[in-house]
Amino acid sequence: MKALAKPLVRFWLLMPALLLCSCPAPRLELAPVELENGVEGWNYREQLVSEGRPPLRWSISQGDLPPGLILNDGGELVGTPRQPGDYPFTVRVRDSSFPARTGTQNYAITILPRLRITANLPNGRVLEPYAATPALEGGVPPYTFEAIGLPAGLGINPETGTISGVPLTPHAALRVDLRVTDSGQPQQTATDTDFFAIKNQAIQIVTSDLPAGQVGVAYNQAVVAENGQPPYRWAVSDGLLPGGLRLNTVTGVI
C-alpha cells in the first residue's frame, strides 16, 4: 500500500510596501501684500511676516531695493532711501521645516521726492505792486501754502504760494515763515524762513525847472524831493552851477 503524498503547502510572506509621498510642501504666504510709500531722505521701516517654521530665511529673488534700503535677517525692510522712483522686486522666504517650505511675493515701493521750499523773497517798496513766488521742488501736487509775518497789504495765495499785494508801510527787516504741505502719502510738510525789507518809494526830485537868475542879484531857490527816507543829502551829479552859486547839501537850496 502506497503512502499518501504530503500536501504541498506554500507560504506567501506579504510585505507592505512603503509608500513615499512626493507631494510638494505647501507654499508660504507673505504679508503684507502691499508696501507703504517712502520719502527720499526719510527713515523707512516695514516688517514682513510669514507663517512658516522659524527661523525664516529672507532674500530678494528678483529686482532691486531702492538705494539705501536693505532686507535684514528678521524680514524688515529698513533704511533711508536716497533716490526717488518706483522700485519693483520679489521677496523670497524659506522656513526651517523638512522638507522646507518657501514662498514669494511681488512688491513695489514708490520713493517720493522730498518736498523743499526756498523763499528768496525780494525787497519791495511802499505803495508799489509786489509779487514773489517761493521756489518749490519735490512732493506731490496739489500743494497748500501758508505764511506768517507778512506786512499789511501783502497776502499769500494758498494754492500757488505767490505773495502779492501793495505794501503800505516801510519795514527795515521783515521775518516771514513759509509752510507748504503736499498731497502725497505719506504727506510731507516743508518750511523756510526768510527776511526781506519794504523800502520807502524811490526818491524823486519833483522840481523840474528853476527860475532864471540875474547877474548881481541874490538867488535863492529850493530843490524839492519826495519819497525815500529823509533827511536827504544833496549833490550836483552832472555839470556845474553858475559862478557865485552853490548847492546846500543839507537843505537842497541853491
Residue 33 has pLDDT above 50, yes or no: yes
Number of structural domains, the chain?
A: 3
Return mean pLDDT, the chain: 91
The answer to whether residue 3 sits within a structural domain is no
CA distance 83 to 39: 9
pLDDT band at 21 (very low <50, low <70, confident <90, very high): low
Same domain flag for 191 and 138? yes
Mean pLDDT of the 145-173 span = 97
Lowest mean pLDDT among 41-50, 117-126, 205-214: 205-214
Determine the structural domain holding residue 252 and report its residue range.
202-254
Same domain flag for 137 and 176? yes
CA distance 115 to 100: 45
Predicted pLDDT at 6: 52
Mean pLDDT of the 17-28 span = 65
Predicted pLDDT at 230: 84
Residue 66 has pLDDT above 80, yes or no: yes
Residue 42 has pLDDT above 90, yes or no: yes
The answer to whether residue 24 sits within a structural domain is no
Alpha carbon of 124 to those of 36, 117, 157, 172, 175: distances in Å? 44, 21, 18, 11, 14
Question: 112, 140, 155 — which closes off a domain?
Answer: 112
The answer to whether residue 131 sits within a structural domain is yes
> Which residue from 64, 66, 91 is spatially nearest to 80, judged by alpha carbons?
66
The answer to whether residue 11 sits within a structural domain is no
Residues 176-191: pLDDT tens digits?
Answer: 999 999 999 999 999 9
CA distance 107 to 78: 15
Residues 113-129: pLDDT tens digits?
Answer: 999 999 989 999 999 99
Residue 130 C-beta-side C-alpha neighbours within 13 Å: 27
Residues 56-65: pLDDT tens digits?
Answer: 999 999 999 9
Residue 155 has pLDDT above 50, yes or no: yes
pLDDT band at 106 (very low <50, low <70, confident <90, very high): very high
Residue 232, Cα to own-chain centre: how many angstroms? 47
Question: 89, 112, 135 — which closes off a domain?
Answer: 112
**What is the pTM (predicted TM-score) of this model?**
0.72
The answer to whether residue 140 sits within a structural domain is yes
pLDDT band at 251 (very low <50, low <70, confident <90, very high): very high
Residue 98 has pLDDT above 60, yes or no: yes
